[in-house]
Amino acid sequence: MTQYDLGQVVGATGATGPSGADGASVWNTSTAPTYANSKYTFTISNLSGRSGVTIAVNDIIFYDTYYYIVSTKNSTTVDCTTRVSIKGADGSSASVTIVDNLNSDSSTSVLSAKQGKVLNTNKIETSAIATSFASTTSDSKVPSEKLTKTELDKKITKASTATGLLKDNGDVMTGGTGSSNWAIGNHNHSGTYAPSSHNHSTDDVSDPDSDDYTNIGELQSNASQSRINSEIDTALGTKITKSSSATGLLKDDGTVMTSGTGSTNWAVGNHTHSAYVNPTIVDNLTSDSSTSVLSAKQGKVLNTNKIETSAIADNLTTNDATKVLSAKQGKVLNDLIGSAITYITGSGS
């Protein structure tokens, strides 16, 4: 069996043979390279390899548990932008632990695709968080914690000082004659419902609406009851009829003010305010609800175990232990390790 070194079987076009004409030479060193500007620099005089061969671009340098591929050559040094980790004499690649849960604190393991799906399914996009209440609401948004607290604080402040009925905005509805007031006690009805101006200074029973009686007894003894009723009906119209059947608060027109959410209603009992969202809080990562919000606890789970885009390394030169390798670089690594295994096991002869 003809034996070749790794430099004779790994070349630009894959050519092999004892001369290694198209192969990359393999070099060894016990001196660590310097690292700057995303490249590893070796001093040529510290390298050992095949005699009679000068180091060149695409040659391989072994140091510790890594091998480096020469990218540029100077008079005394060479630079390598690619570094690949190897493990043991058999050349097998370093193993990567895949974690299939969201509880691990490991900084060197990677998350399974299954758990990535869980994170993606239950995530809340920044665009879905409402920081102010718009004129129209959406089931696809949830209020921020700050917005919810601010609006609830307003309600609590108003409600804590309330001594009467509340409007929809939380303000106290006071008694009065306006459209936003509720009628209370002895009050007047202005406008078309007010009786004609008159006084009671004479005893002319024939015209009781413009005369004044000195006392109720005189009025009762001298005035016709039917005439009195007629004059009152004329002056007050249907007020008496409406008021006599009233079972609640009255509006200015004498009709009963009912409970509800309109500007002429009064709030009663346990009721909701449509402009304010009170969503259900979900404390798990399995819910399919589009109207619930995720608890802060589960948000911490997502944030603690998420993989940021910035944590994906798309090169073979980084030595940052907090990053994971991209699929593209994983293929590059697999191809290089496969070639190394072929050489070491002798199957490439």
Q: Which two tokens stand for residue 99?
A: 């974690």
**For residue 214, is it within any domain?**
yes
Q: Are 49 and 27 in contact (CB under 8 A)?
A: yes
| pLDDT reported for residue 19 | 41
Q: Are 71 and 57 in contact (CB under 8 A)?
A: yes
**For residue 233, is it within any domain?**
yes
Q: Look at residues 347, 318, 349 and name the one whose alpha carbon lies nearest to residue 91.
A: 347
- Put simply, whether the predicted model's pTM sits higher than 0.75 gets the answer no
**For residue 125, is it within any domain?**
no
Give the Å distances, CA to CA, from 36 to 41, 52, 159: 8, 30, 65
- Residue ranges with strand state E in 74-151: 77-85, 98-99, 110-111, 129-130, 142-143
| pLDDT reported for residue 83 | 92
| pLDDT reported for residue 272 | 65
Three-state secondary structure call for residue 306:
coil
Structural domain count of the chain: 2
Model pLDDT for residues 199-230, shown as the tens digit of each residue: 555 545 455 554 444 555 555 555 566 777 77
| pLDDT reported for residue 278 | 72
| pLDDT reported for residue 11 | 42
**For residue 117, is it within any domain?**
no
| pLDDT reported for residue 39 | 94
247 and 322 both lie in a single domain: no
**For residue 306, is it within any domain?**
no
**For residue 276, is it within any domain?**
no
**For residue 341, is it within any domain?**
yes
pLDDT-flagged residues of the chain (< 50): 1-21, 89-93, 194, 203, 205, 210-213
Question: Which residues span the domain enclosing 188?
Answer: 171-257
Q: Look at residues 47, 41, 48 and name the one whose alpha carbon lies nearest to residue 83.
A: 41
Q: Look at residues 9, 60, 42, 83 and name the one whose alpha carbon lies nearest to residue 329.
A: 83
**For residue 1, is it within any domain?**
no
249 and 178 both lie in a single domain: yes
State which of 213, 236, 257 marks the end of a domain: 257
Q: Are 33 and 68 in contact (CB under 8 A)?
A: yes
